[in-house]
Structure 1
Amino acid sequence: MTARDALMHLAGTGSALPGEPVDNEALSGFFGISGDWIDLFVGTRTRHFGWDPATGKITHTLADLCAESAARALAAAGLAAADLDFLVLSTATPDTLLPTTAGETADRLGLNHLPVYQVQAGCSGAVQALDLARALLAGGHQAGLVVGGDVTARFLRAGQDASDLATQELVNYVLFGDGAAAAVVTAEPHDARAVAVRGLLHRFAGLGRPPGQIVGWRGLAEPEPDRQMLFEDYKTIEEDVPALAGEIVWELLSTAGWTERQVDFVLPPQLSGHMTDRIVAGLGLPPGCREVSCVRDTGNTGNALPLLQLHRLLARLAPGERALSVVVESSKWIKAGLALERPTGEGGQAR
């Protein structure tokens, strides 16, 4: 497979995490949750918030973070906003229902007279957005911007004594953080640093299965103040995600025509630090395959996470090396992922 056979290419990436990292001791002080319990149960050390958990004051909106990460991705690619043909943004937590956060982000970047899409999704949203970008590139566009991000201010209450919450809601106070990340995608390799997307998986797998996660919506009004807005079936997720991740690995290998020994990096699902360890251990990849994760430092940032991992990968991926990005969305069970390769040269491939 040559560089021109790739589905699309990643020309540059960028990320944005708001404020200073919040460690488990600080999180314990904000929400009354044991820091030791967080360490033991989740394995995440820090996360970032675009709001003050003590007061609820908003410091960064989702549009702020998306525009910042997108500008950094453009700079990394060496492209200007005028070079873009489209923008696709994925999120589960838009700033408003209308106008869309995608439109607000485009405005801040100075984009105009081009298609702008917003995908409503959970953890798999970034891959869904890349899938849409792939179709747009196949239809004749040359370059586009994919952005993913989420914020928690609407769903985690400042000053909440979360220790009294039901476990399915409590866990959300320790799993999630805020952030955004972006990637510039092109139909042809932009330069020798471009990473080729050799395979892309995006498949609904939730027929007849109850959701593993529910995020409610009530807008500005709160007619049901006691209604549980967040539900996380962590036990079911813990049981089912490793098996789904294994299925994704083998489907991606089959699509790309690779063997497991030809994979240099794996970007595993990022619900929590401890679960990531369990997933990687069960994937059956060779010992030399290196892990690219960020959840221990960022928390689960939802739509941003796969792109945050890609941002870290691009700094490490050498010519001729390959990677698999594995994504599972538990809200209604979606399997997603990418097979990635940095070619050795013009028209070259890894091995």
Structure 2
Amino acid sequence: MTGTVGPTAPPPSPPALMHIAGTGSALPGEPVDNAALSGVFGISEDWIDIFVGTRTRHFGWDAASGKVTHTLADLCAEAAGRALAASGLGPADLDFLILSTATPDALLPSTATETADYLGLNQLPVHQIQAGCSGAVQALDLARALLAGGHRTGLVVSGDVSARFLRHGQDAAELATQELVNYVLFGDGAGAAVVTTEPYDDSAVAVRALLHRFAGRGRAPGQIVNWRGLAETEPDRPMLFEDYKTIEEQVPALTGEIVWELLDSAGWSAQQLDYLLPPQLSGHMTDRIVAGLGLPPGCREVSCVRDTGNTGNALPLLQLDLLSDRLAPGERALAVSVESSKWIKTGLALERPAQTGRP
């Protein structure tokens, strides 16, 4: 028997590792534009525009006085509350909390426990991950393991603040380039996601693949963030060091590796991709990364760094919060994050499944 053979249907996506039931974001205060930033630190407004390509950022400290207005725990609790509201769940539904940051409010108590207290949580596991830009995905990786181990619902929160590391009143002319760049790259913020084993409704986003790999063996750090205490023996050691040239060279290539590894893990082709959430070091850097990937023109970018600045741990969840309002049933997205401190590759393959009609 012969007949016409139709096109082969693409293979189904792998089972979901977990589901994202709701997301939330928190950015402190009013946006600080480049003119205001120039006035605070004496950095050329034109140089910021040309070198970084970021229009605004938010700070948890007052740009005029340097007074702290928002702690990291403040921002994390705010983002978490919004994620819970978006999910339709409440604090009593949570089985665990995971927080990732490079800039905790204190070494102890952990910012994770302070955030849990703000949310009214008690008698549940609380974890804190010390990480940079890859921290949100590291936290989601741990959440996946906890859900696989028997928990049903958890909260992932990620964020960073800069008050301890960007010195108010600093004369930019006194800084080496490796330190100066941090004064124009970073902003403060937090993002959150409620994760579940099963979707509660048709709005849930399925995590089809998750990548988390250390890739820095034998490689010098691209970024260093130091912690200074009373026993500091090297007072001239910079608090923040950024090898921006090396990062510019390495991050685009690592991004390409992550994209193709995630597509392979999810069983998708590039043509089946609807959205890309690229690494968010700066506005111009994001443009170069996306242009170099050569993805199909129908793949839309979800970025926020031009308006938020580089918020470190928060950025992947800020992008995910933006995506949640755009991703239609049946659409797919990749989220990519590269940590340059000692080179960590992370990413997510995300899909909003076609609606099932379940109430």
Residue aligning to 2:320: 310
Q: Structure 1: how far apart are the matches of 2:254 and 2:133?
A: 14
Residue matched to 2:256: 246
Deviation at 1:90, TM superposition (A): 0.1
Shift of 1:190: 1.3
- The answer on whether the counterparts of 1:50 and 1:151 sit within 8 Å (CA) in structure 2 is yes
Q: Does the Cα contact within 8 Å between 1:3 and 1:343 map onto a contact in 2?
A: no
Q: 2:306 aligns with which of 272, 277, 296?
A: 296
Whether the 8 Å contact between 1:53 and 1:159 is mirrored in structure 2 is no
C-alpha separation in 2, matches of 1:2 and 1:81: 34
- Distance 1:221-1:61 versus aligned 2 partners, 3 A rule: farther
- Which residue of 86, 103, 114 maps to 1:93? 103
Q: Which residue of 1 aligns with 2:56?
A: 46
Report deviation, 1:3: 8.8
* Contact 2:209/2:349 (<8 A) preserved: yes
What is the aligned partner in structure 2 of residue 32 from structure 1? 42
* Letter aligned with residue 218 of structure 1: R
Moved more, 51-60 or 275-284: 51-60
Name the structure 2 match of 1:283.
293
Deviation track 1:54-100 (CA, whole Å, cap 9, x = no partner) reads: 32211000000000000000000000100000000000000000000
SS at match of 2:169: coil
CA contact (8 A) 2:14 2:267 kept: no
Aligned to 2:217: 207
Q: 1:114 to 1:187 in 2, by over 3 A?
A: same
Alpha-carbon RMSD across the aligned residues, in angstroms, is: 1.5
> Which residue does the alignment assign to 1:267?
277
Distance 1:142 1:3 in 2: 22
- Matched position secondary structure for 2:257: helix
The alignment status of 1:190 with 2:200, answered yes or no, reads: yes
Q: Which residue of 2 aligns with 1:333?
A: 343
Structure 1 residue identity aligned to 2:252 = P
Amino acid at match of 1:16: A
Cα drift, residue 52 of structure 1:
1.6
CA distance in 2, matches of 1:160, 1:141: 47
Change (3 A) 1:55 1:226: farther
TM-score by length of 2: 0.95
Q: Which has the larger radius of gyration?
A: 2
Measured at CA, do residues 3 and 115 of structure 1 come closer, stay the same or move farther in structure 2, by a change above 3 Å? farther
- Give aligned-pair identity as a percent: 81
TM-score by length of 1: 0.97
**Alignment coverage as a number of residue pairs:** 348
* Secondary structure in structure 2 of the residue aligned to 1:192: coil
Contact 1:52 1:158 in 2 (8 A): no
Distance in 1 separating the partners of 2:303 and 2:197: 27
Question: Secondary structure in 1 aligned to 2:293?
Answer: coil
- Structure 2 matches for 1:156-195, cutoff 5 A? 156-195=166-205
Deviation at 1:4, TM superposition (A): 9.1
Shift in Å, 1:228: 1.2
1:151 aligns with 2:176: no
After the TM superposition, which segments of 4 or more aligned residues of structure 1 sit over 3 Å from their partners? 1-4, 219-225
Change in CA separation of 1:184 and 1:299 when aligned onto 2, cut-off 3 Å:
same
Q: Which runs of 5+ in 1 are unaligned?
A: none
Tell me how far 1:224 sits from its aligned partner: 3.9
Query: Is 1:125 paired with 2:141?
Result: no
| Aligned counterparts of 1:273 and 1:235: Cα–Cα separation in 2 | 15
Deviations 1:218-243 (A, max 9, x none): 13666544221111000000011000
Contact 2:259 2:334 in 1 (8 A): yes
Letter in 2 for 1:272: S
Q: Letter of the aligned partner of 1:232 in structure 2? A: E
C-alpha displacement at 1:53, in angstroms? 3.0
Deviations, residues 2-23 of structure 1 (Å, cap 9, x unaligned) = 7992000000000000000000
Instruction: Give the Cα–Cα distance (whole angstroms) in 1 for the partners of residues 213 and 292 of structure 2.
Output: 21
User: 2:134–2:339: 8 Å Cα contact kept in structure 1?
Assistant: yes
Q: Deviations over 1:290-331 (max 9, x none)?
A: 000000000000000000000000010000100000110000
Shift of 1:284: 2.0
In structure 1, distance between residues paired with 2:293 and 2:146: 32
User: Cα offset for 1:163?
Assistant: 2.6
Paired position in structure 1 for 2:29: 19
Aligned position for 2:245: 235
Task: Name the CA distance, whole Å, in 2 between partners of 1:180 and 1:138.
Answer: 26
